Each structure stands twice: as structure tokens, then as C-alpha cells.
Amino acid sequence: MSQPHRVPTAAVLLAGGQGRRLGGEDKASLLLRGRTLLQHWLTALRSEGIPEIVVVGPDELRPLCDAEGDTKLVRENPPFGGPAAAVYAGMKALEAMQGRVLLLAVDVVE
């Protein structure tokens, strides 16, 4: 018997990195059709009913996170510590949460 589809209760969106392949450009702030990649993701997650979203990235993303609703912004330790450190930071921010978690990268859209 198949499991019923359950909507994730949280999402961790990896939005850090140094953008070396982009000449130091912040991936989360890149524009696609007039909106940043981060804005596209936050809108999509909210439209799917994901109530808790954690963005792992630099403090410069705070205005974008605050503008899109109650989105938690955390930083991996050490900064630029790589994807494993970022996943750990995101999951730690959700440690009291129970349920399914989506793990996403800000630069993978559409």
C-alpha cells in the first residue's frame, strides 16, 4: 500500500557560497524575470503551504528574507564552510520541528 502524500512542514534553502564561478556574485541575489532567485524560492515555498523556511546564507540576505515574511536566516559555522556545514546549520535551526523537510539550493530554479 502506498504512503499518502504528505506536504513537508519545513524547508532549508542553501543560499550561501562565495560565487567563485560567477566572479564573486551572490547567487541568491541574481535576477530572474525581475526578481531575485531567493524571492522566487520563498514565493514558491509559501505558495505550497510550507510554514517554516530557513535560509542558510550571509547577513546581506536578511532584507530579502524579512520582505518575504517570517523566514529564518542562519549562517553556517564556519562561514563558507561548505554544503555540509550549511545543511547542519539549517537542520539545527529546525531541531524542535518534527516532520518532513525539503532541502533546496537557491541556484536551482525552474
Query: Is 102:12 a contact under the CB 8 Å cutoff?
Result: yes
pLDDT value at position 6?
63
Residue 26 CB-density burial (10 A; 0-12 exposed, 13-18 middle, 19+ buried): buried
C-alpha closest to that of 106 among 51, 9, 6, 68: 68
Domain ranges of the chain: 10-105
Entry pTM: 0.85
The fourth-level CATH superfamily of domain 10-105 is Spore Coat Polysaccharide Biosynthesis Protein SpsA; Chain A (3.90.550.10)
Q: Residue type at 94?
A: L
pLDDT value at position 76?
94
Q: Alpha carbon of 88 to those of 6, 21, 110: distances in Å? A: 23, 24, 25
Cell of 5: 502524500
Does residue 21 have a pLDDT over 60? yes
Residue that wins the pLDDT comparison between 15 and 16: 15
